[in-house]
Amino acid sequence: MYLLRGVMGAQSAGPQPSGAETVQKLCDRVASSTLLDDRRDAVRALKSLSRKYRLEVGSQAMEHLVNVLQTDRSDVEIIGYALDTLHNIMSNEMDEPDDSEEENSQSQTDDLGSQFTEIFIKQQENITLLLSYLEEFDFQVRWPGVKLVTTLLKQQGPAVQQIILVSPMGVSRLMDLLADSREVIRNDGLLLLQQLTKGNAAIQKIVAFENAFERLLDIITDEGNSDGGIVVEDCLILLQYLLKNNNSNQNFFKEGSYIQRMKPWFEVGDDNTGWSAQKVTNLHLMLQLVRVLVSPMNPPGATSSCQKSMFQCGLLQQLCTILMATGVPADILTETINTVSEVIRGCQINQDYFASVNAPSNPPRPAIVVLLMSMVNERQPFVLRCAVLYCFQCFLYRNQKGQGEIVATLLPSTIDANAVSAGQLLCGGLFSVDSLSNWCAAVALAHALQGNATQKEQLLRVQLATSIGNPPVSLLQQCTNILSQGDKINRRGSKIQTRVGLLMLLCTWLSNCPIAVTHFLHNPSNVPFLTAQISENLGEEEQLVQGLCALLLGICIYNNDNSLENYTKEKLKQLIEKRIGKENFTEKLSFIPKHELYSKAAQKPQPNFSSPDHMMFDHEFTKLVKELEVVIIKAIYKSTEEDKKEEEVKKTLEHHDNIVTHYKNVIREQDLQIEELKQQVMALNSQNEQFQVTVTQQLSQIQQHKDQYNLLKIKQGKDNQLHSSHVEGAQINGIQSEEMIRLREEIEELRKEQDILQGQLAEKDGLIANLKSAQPEVRTERSPPEGVPADGSSENAMELYKELEALRSQIQAQSLEINGLQTERQELLHKIETVTAASALASGDSTAVAASKVAELEERLVASLKETNSLKDEVKTLSEEKSALKQQVDSSNSTAAISQNENKKLEQMLADSKKEQDDLLILLADQDQKLTALKNKLKELGEPVEDEDDLESGDQGDDDVESGDQGDEDDEKEELEED
């Protein structure tokens, strides 16, 4: 800085005041003057000096300028000057060195802007202050403000970004610049946003959130897409900053349906001559933007969803038309090929579409063929040829179908002699004299085999006609032939390139394909060639070829199925040990990954080489090397015993495998069986469940019936208990028998009563007979007084007799009824027994049997159902009978009661009659006494008395007949009751 000052000081030396002095004076004026006009003039003067005396103004005036910004907010003019001055001192752009001698200080002046910026942003409020001025609508303030912030960001990007990020709504305010109707501010706003978003994902997201995509795409459309000027370019650059490596924004871009809006960008007309440089730049950026969205480096999911929507909206189709259009500048064409490559890479629909694209030639050729023609055409630009190779690789990436189609064009059965096919072009390239074509064709063919065992085997069938008269040679053999004869043929370009290409093809072909290995080993000259190559001590250039030869030999060991006796794993290993040496072999092998070009190729799928000489490794091949290197070294170092052991292990493993497969089959069969059985079980289970349900339903029905039945029984029982009848037999047997006994006992009692009654009657009869015999004697003497009571008693007896008769008949009827009831009851009991037995059997069995034998159960169920039905009917009839019985019992009971009452009456009457008899007896005794007294008196008087007795007996004859009748009836009654 002192140096600079010295230089400047020297220049301005003389009578005039030095720049530093002037700046100092001006600064003082700004600081001290109270007049706004005065300050404004001073700031304007500082501005004019700020370019020439940048250091002075920067170091002395910055503080004062910031003060102006803080205090003179109201005056747009002074603010504008201050902002401009600050911009001048911090920006390096204006600092064009007039003198060549200042060139050496150029780097220092670069530092100057950055240092001033650093000082300025030390006070974070300064940035906040600046941001507030960006909200000022006045052009004089806003425009320099925008430029100043842009400069700050350019000088101290990350620091300023961080300050803006944390200042409230900082980013949002800057986004508003895009909405400014004044194009100058909008355009400078674009530049500001570019600097703002550069490398800061958080800001990129906020800017995107503030509708940046929408606005930028609108500007691009308004400006005429690719025909637009530099503004379109700036927009595209900003879009790229927002999207590159920012998955969140890419997702937002895709979800916002902005991919669809890219399609019109590529709608170029038929006339593609005379594209402006700007248009080329714009299109280039547009293509790059597409590639940002589908880069192979993006997360796979993100890329594939973008690829799909690019196909759906027709963007891919649009790109393919550019691909096939005429007059498109070479670099745009190249970039378009690269873009198409990444749009189709690993996406089956897009790959299929690409395979169907035809060039508008006559006859129409597939785009793939047209592109391959360019690849193997040495007159085409190198980058274009690389792009075509990339396109072809992307077409085949994870595309078994495409791989099959390409290989098929080489197979004898499907070959079409008339049309140029991809296979033909690849073979042509493989055996052309141009090493670049050799390499590209070899790599392209390797990609047709990548990870596809079927195509590796298919390609073995390819035979080539060499010269007339000679037998055809297989493609595999031809490749090794060229490899071994490589030195003899005069080629353009690098011999190594050809050999590396062919070796990569062979390695890819043979890896994981024992049949291809066998084919390769079948030619006895191949292995000696490889061993010779590896063991030779050659120059640095050849080391790569040696390494690849070692790799190929390693693959021959690793993927060897020991089908050739001369070249078994064991023999090849011995060969390495004898001819090359294990250490030497691994060292040669390690040449490959150590190579500078190898690591470069490993980074990205796109073949990107600074010069044709650097075209050595293919990205996919580097993956293969990584995969194989370790296993090959392991395979080489394994001792014979280990190998044998491994073989044995393998054999046992195979044996085990066989057993396992056997068991697997068994298990599979059993699985099937189990499955069937399971289904059966399932079906049966469901059936069972259904049956269970019906069983439970029916059981509950039975239960209901039982309950109903029990209810009825209880009712009946109640009736029976009330009337001491026998109908309780409807209950369970035991109770019924008890009831029977009780009934019998009751009957017995009734009988006894009757017996007693009869006994009493007999006594009475006896008494009456006595009376009869006694009465005639009495009558003779005392007939008039005696007649009244005697008549009364006979009348009573008559009544009694009648009543007894009625009673007898009633009892007879009752006993008949009782008999009938008893028999009915017997029947009833029997029926109940059978019914209860049946129902108990049905219910008991059904639950036990249901689980095991459903069918039987069903039958039983049906039976039980029938039974229950019959039971129901029976119950019905029984209940009817019962009600009938009840009625009968009621009536019989009532009659019985009546008869009992009458019995009682009878008894009473009997008692009465006894009393009367007693009275009579007493009377008789009295009369006897009187009679004896009278007889004695008569005797004393001398009169006979015997006649009177005869008269008395005649009177009493009627009584005798009556009592005799009564006795007969009693006898009858006795007889009946005994029955």
Partner 1 sequence: MAYAYLFKYIIIGDTGVGKSCLLLQFTDKRFQPVHDLTIGVEFGARMITIDGKQIKLQIWDTAGQESFRSITRSYYRGAAGALLVYDITRRDTFNHLTTWLEDARQHSNSNMVIMLIGNKSDLESRREVKKEEGEAFAREHGLIFMETSAKTASNVEEAFINTAKEIYEKIQEGVFDINNEANGIKIGPQHAATNASLSGNQGGHTSGGCC
Residues in contact with partner 1 by CB under 8 A are: 165-172, 201-202, 205-206, 209-211, 214, 218, 248-249, 251-252, 255-257, 260
The minimum distance between CB 252 and partner 1, in angstroms, equals 5
The minimum distance between CB 250 and partner 1, in angstroms, equals 9
DSSP notation for 807-855: HHHHHHHHHHHHHHHHHHHHHHHHHHHHHHHHHHHHHHHHHHHHTT-HH
Amino acid at 747: I
CB atoms inside a 10 Å sphere around CB 666: 10
State the virtual CA torsion across 809, 811, 815, 817 in degrees, nearest 10: 70
The minimum distance between CB 248 and partner 1, in angstroms, equals 4
Check: CB of residue 7 under 8 Å from CB of residue 102: yes
| Residue whose CB is less far from partner 1, 15 or 300 | 300
CA angle 882, 888, 892 (to 5 degrees): 140
The minimum distance between CB 83 and partner 1, in angstroms, equals 25
The minimum distance between CB 265 and partner 1, in angstroms, equals 15
Q: Give the whole-angstrom CA distance, residue 120 versus residue 676.
A: 84
CA angle 973, 978, 979 (to 5 degrees): 100
Instruction: Tell me if residue 101 falls in helix, strand or coil.
Output: helix
| Residue whose CB is less far from partner 1, 161 or 963 | 161
The minimum distance between CB 124 and partner 1, in angstroms, equals 12
The minimum distance between CB 487 and partner 1, in angstroms, equals 57
| Residue whose CB is less far from partner 1, 167 or 724 | 167
The minimum distance between CB 208 and partner 1, in angstroms, equals 8
What φ, ψ does residue 359 adopt, rounded to 5°? -80, 145
DSSP notation for 741-765: HHHHHHHHHHHHHHHHHHHHHHHHH
Q: Give the whole-angstrom CA distance, residue 776 versus residue 756.
A: 30
| Residue whose CB is less far from partner 1, 255 or 748 | 255
The minimum distance between CB 622 and partner 1, in angstroms, equals 30
| Residue whose CB is less far from partner 1, 79 or 171 | 171
| Residue whose CB is less far from partner 1, 172 or 869 | 172
Q: Give the whole-angstrom CA distance, residue 442 versus residue 607.
A: 14
The minimum distance between CB 283 and partner 1, in angstroms, equals 22
CB proximity list for 121: less than 8 A, separation 6 or greater:
127, 152, 156, 159, 160, 163
Check: CB of residue 267 under 8 Å from CB of residue 325: no
| Residue whose CB is less far from partner 1, 267 or 671 | 267
| Residue whose CB is less far from partner 1, 166 or 851 | 166
| Residue whose CB is less far from partner 1, 205 or 973 | 205
The minimum distance between CB 304 and partner 1, in angstroms, equals 15
Could you tell me the sign of the dihedral formed by the alpha carbons of 825, 826, 831, 835, in that order? positive
| Residue whose CB is less far from partner 1, 251 or 694 | 251
Q: Give the whole-angstrom CA distance, residue 727 versus residue 724.
A: 9
How big, in percent rounded to 5, are the helix, strand and coil portions of the chain? 80, 0, 20
As given in the structure block, the two tokens for residue 159 are: 């620091």
| Residue whose CB is less far from partner 1, 312 or 700 | 312
| Residue whose CB is less far from partner 1, 182 or 914 | 182
Helix (H) or strand (E) holding 359: strand 358-359
As given in the structure block, the two tokens for residue 588 are: 């040669």
| Residue whose CB is less far from partner 1, 313 or 976 | 313
| Beta bridge partners of residue 366, listed in sequence order | 358
Instruction: Tell me if residue 739 falls in helix, strand or coil.
Output: helix
The minimum distance between CB 192 and partner 1, in angstroms, equals 16
**Strand locations in 621-762 (E):** none
**Closest residue by Cα to residue 567 from 506, 520, 512, 628:** 520
Distances in whole angstroms, Cα of residue 929 to Cα of each of 212, 922, 936: 160, 10, 10
As given in the structure block, the two tokens for residue 947 are: 């006649």
The minimum distance between CB 303 and partner 1, in angstroms, equals 16
- Residue ranges of alpha helices (H) inside 851-946 are 854-941
Q: Give the whole-angstrom CA distance, residue 396 versus residue 407.
A: 11
Instruction: Tell me if residue 606 falls in helix, strand or coil.
Output: coil
The minimum distance between CB 249 and partner 1, in angstroms, equals 7
| Residue whose CB is less far from partner 1, 62 or 219 | 219
Check: CB of residue 793 under 8 Å from CB of residue 916: yes
What φ, ψ does residue 399 adopt, rounded to 5°? -130, 80
The minimum distance between CB 193 and partner 1, in angstroms, equals 14
| Residue whose CB is less far from partner 1, 89 or 196 | 196
Could you tell me the sign of the dihedral formed by the alpha carbons of 691, 694, 697, 698, in that order? negative
Distance of CA 959 to the CA centre of its chain: 118
| Residue whose CB is less far from partner 1, 167 or 543 | 167
The minimum distance between CB 254 and partner 1, in angstroms, equals 9
